[in-house]
């Protein structure tokens, strides 16, 4: 910071006082003819060039802002997609576990059904005999 202050103070000492600068600006480089900086063609060209550069910078800043907004929207979309993928993954895992539990239950029930059918085949003659025996108890049967 001290170096900058030294440079600025040294620069101020080397330059002429402001009143002398104004007098030099009003007169030409030779000091004979008065010249207005605002009306000279080189200063108007410099002003136009500076204005063009300023407009270009503003356009670039606007484009950068648009790109930043687009990037933020893209980031939001990706975050939302990631969240949905996690939710879908959890849903798929729950469906898979329920399907596995169903398969286990089905295999256990199929074993139980097989054993019932095995014994049911032996019960059929007993059931037929009981029906035939009860036939005589029903009043609407004819002999």
**List of residues 6+ apart from 24 with CB closer than 8 A:** 16, 31
User: What kind and span of H or E run contains 25?
Assistant: helix 18-26
For residues 21 and 11, give the distance between their C-alpha atoms in angstroms, rounded to a whole number.
14
pLDDT in tens, 82-114: 999 999 999 999 999 999 998 998 888 888 887
Per-residue pLDDT, 61: 97
The pLDDT confidence band at residue 128, using thresholds 50, 70 and 90, is confident
Q: For 50-70, b where at least 16 C-beta lie within 10 A, e where not — what string?
A: eeeeeeeeeeeeeeeeeeeee
State CA 116 to chain mean position distance: 58
Per-residue pLDDT, 68: 98
Report which of residues 114 and 43 the model is more confident about.
43
Beta bridge partners of 34: 27
Per-residue pLDDT, 113: 80
Per-residue pLDDT, 122: 63
The pLDDT confidence band at residue 18, using thresholds 50, 70 and 90, is low
The answer to whether 103 and 97 have CB atoms below 8 angstroms apart is no
Report which of residues 132 and 123 the model is more confident about.
132
Per-residue pLDDT, 33: 52
Per the prediction, the chain carries an average pLDDT of 77
Kindly state the average pLDDT of the residues 33-47.
70
**The pLDDT of residue 124 is above 60:** yes
**The pLDDT of residue 28 is above 60:** no
């Amino acid at each position: 910071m001290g170096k900058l202050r030294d440079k600025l103070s040294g620069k101020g000492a080397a330059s002429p006082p402001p009143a002398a600068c104004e007098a030099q600006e009003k007169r030409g480089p030779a000091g004979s003819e008065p010249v207005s900086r605002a009306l000279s063609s080189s200063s108007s060209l410099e002003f136009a060039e500076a204005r063009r550069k300023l407009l270009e910078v503003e356009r670039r800043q606007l484009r950068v802002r648009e790109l930043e907004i687009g990037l933020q929207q893209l980031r939001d979309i990706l975050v939302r997609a990631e969240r949905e993928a996690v939710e879908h993954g959890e849903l798929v895992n729950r469906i898979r576990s329920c399907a596995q539990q169903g398969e286990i239950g089905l295999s256990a029930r199929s074993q139980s059904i097989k054993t019932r059918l095995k014994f049911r085949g032996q019960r059929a003659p007993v059931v037929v005999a009981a029906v035939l025996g009860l036939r005589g108890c029903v009043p609407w049967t004819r002999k």
